[in-house]
Homo-oligomer: A and B are copies of this chain.
Amino acid sequence: MTSPNTERKRRANGVESRRRILDAAVAIAGERGYEGTSIAAVSAKCGLPASSIYWHFKDKDDLIAAVIERSFETWLAAVELPGEDAGTPLERVTAMAANVARSLVDTPDFLRLGLMLALEQRPSEPRGRTVFLQVRDVARQRIADIARTLLPELAEADVQTLTTYAVAGADGLFVHREIHGEAVDLVAMFELHARMVFEAGARLASPA
């Protein structure tokens, strides 16, 4: 009823502005890392003046941490698709891995930025790094849970080893694709990886 005039759009919409800033920051930080992300560049990309960014975020550290948080949520939403609970355990594991691979192909910013942050060993650790390691651990827990569910006989120590190995392989294959580009079929590699890890787990669970 109340006709929304065009001018109103520009004015005082905190949620929308915050989103625009995060969108810009995700794109830039996902490409160039923490130091490579200048507030001026984010400002230019989102159209808001630099000082406005500081209304929404305490400082650059806060902004990057928020970037990690939001892009993790986005990524989780992309990963958690239904339809993975049918078929044999191996089929289910493979389907999940394919899902993760697809999400990483679609929105690689989260993991790319996260890995860059994780590799840095700066004396005063950026908060974004802490946040990434936390959410990464959440993801790790899920993988371990899946292992426990699908391979109930597996000893806990083997669950941990398998999970570490699953994550490490995923990280490494992601790096491989980042380096070699779109030619790499990440989905196929993740499926292969999932099968190898699953079969290794199966061998551990039931030693002939």
Also in contact, A178 and B122, with CB within 8 A (given A33-B33, A36-B35): no
Also in contact, A171 and B175, with CB within 8 A (given A115-B119, A120-B31, A120-B33): yes
**Within 8 Å CB of A70, what residues of B?**
none
Of A76-84, A87-95, A149-157, A162-170, the stretch lying at the interface with chain B is A162-170
**A44 on interface, CB distance cutoff 8 Å:** no
Also in contact, A116 and B112, with CB within 8 A (given A33-B33, A170-B172, A193-B165): no
Within 8 A of B (CB), among A101-136: 112, 115-116, 118-122, 133, 136
**Within 8 Å CB of A31, what residues of B?**
120-122
**A196 on interface, CB distance cutoff 8 Å:** yes
Identical chains bound together, number: 4
**Within 8 Å CB of A168, what residues of B?**
169, 171-173, 175-176, 189
**Within 8 Å CB of A133, what residues of B?**
179
**A192 on interface, CB distance cutoff 8 Å:** yes
Q: Which residues of A are at the interface with B, using a C-beta cutoff of 8 A? A: 30-36, 112, 115-116, 118-122, 133, 136, 161, 164-165, 167-173, 175-176, 178-179, 189, 192-193, 196, 200
